[in-house]
């Protein structure tokens, strides 16, 4: 497979610069990946989040997933957890919304209230 060598080359180039993000990340973005989330488009939402983080070269964010939380009608759900701030759950997060959440909430600390489903203190 051609990509094998490509990936190895990428890896060697990267060796010097790679830091393990997970250990130093401050902000967490958590995408709901239950069956309902996936059916509602969570995969495309996640792909948009990854793309936007890469484009903006944002370093201190880690993206993880969670399973079903029982709120099908609001999927795709995306949680943003910033240190010292309540957990914000956004609903019906399309790829476009996801990109705006990164621009506004992640980069500029401006929560987009219109899309907030719930806010949870102390996480």
Partner 1 sequence: MMEELSLHILDIVENSINAKATKVDIEIDVDKRENLVIIKVTDNGKGMDDKTLENVRDPFFTTKTTRKVGLGVSFLDEIAELTGGSLDIESNLGIGTTIQLKLPFDHPDRPPLGDIISTLITLLATNPQVWIIYRETRNGKTWEFDSKEVEGLLGDYTWLGKIKEVLYNSYKEFTGGELI
120 membership: H or E segment, kind and range: strand 116-120
Interface with ligand FES, residue 91, by CB under 6 A? no
Assess 35 for contact with ligand ATP (CB under 6 A): yes
Identified binder of ligand ATP from the candidate list 68, 71, 112, 116, rule CB under 6 A: 68
| Residue 54 makes contact with partner 1 by CB under 8 A | yes
Residues in contact with 41: Cβ distance below 8 Å, sequence separation at least 6, in sequence order = 76, 94, 95
Going across the sheet that includes 87-90, the strands are: 61-66, 27-32, 78-81, 87-90, 116-120
Instruction: Give which of ligand FES, partner 1, ligand ATP, none residue 75 binds (C-beta under 5 to 8 Å, depending on kind).
Output: ligand FES
Q: By C-beta, is 68 or 116 nearer to ligand ATP?
A: 68
In the complex, what is the shortest distance from the CB of residue 40 to ligand FES, in angstroms, rounded to a whole number?
A: 8
Q: Judged by CB under 6 A, does residue 76 bind ligand ATP? A: no
Q: d(Cα 27, Cα 36) in Å, to the nearest integer?
A: 25
């Amino acid at each position: 497979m051609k990509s094998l060598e490509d990936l190895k080359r990428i890896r060697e180039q990267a060796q010097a610069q790679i830091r393990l993000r997970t250990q130093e990340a401050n902000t967490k973005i958590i995408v709901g990946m239950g069956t309902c989330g996936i059916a509602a488009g969570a995969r495309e939402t996640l792909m948009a989040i990854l793309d936007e983080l890469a484009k903006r070269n944002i370093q201190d964010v880690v993206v993880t997933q969670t399973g079903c939380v029982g709120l099908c009608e609001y999927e795709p759900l995306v949680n943003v957890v910033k240190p010292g701030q309540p957990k914000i759950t956004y609903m019906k997060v399309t790829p476009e919304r996801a990109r705006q959440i990164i621009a506004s909430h992640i980069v500029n600390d401006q929560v987009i209230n219109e899309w907030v489903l719930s806010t949870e203190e102390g996480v």
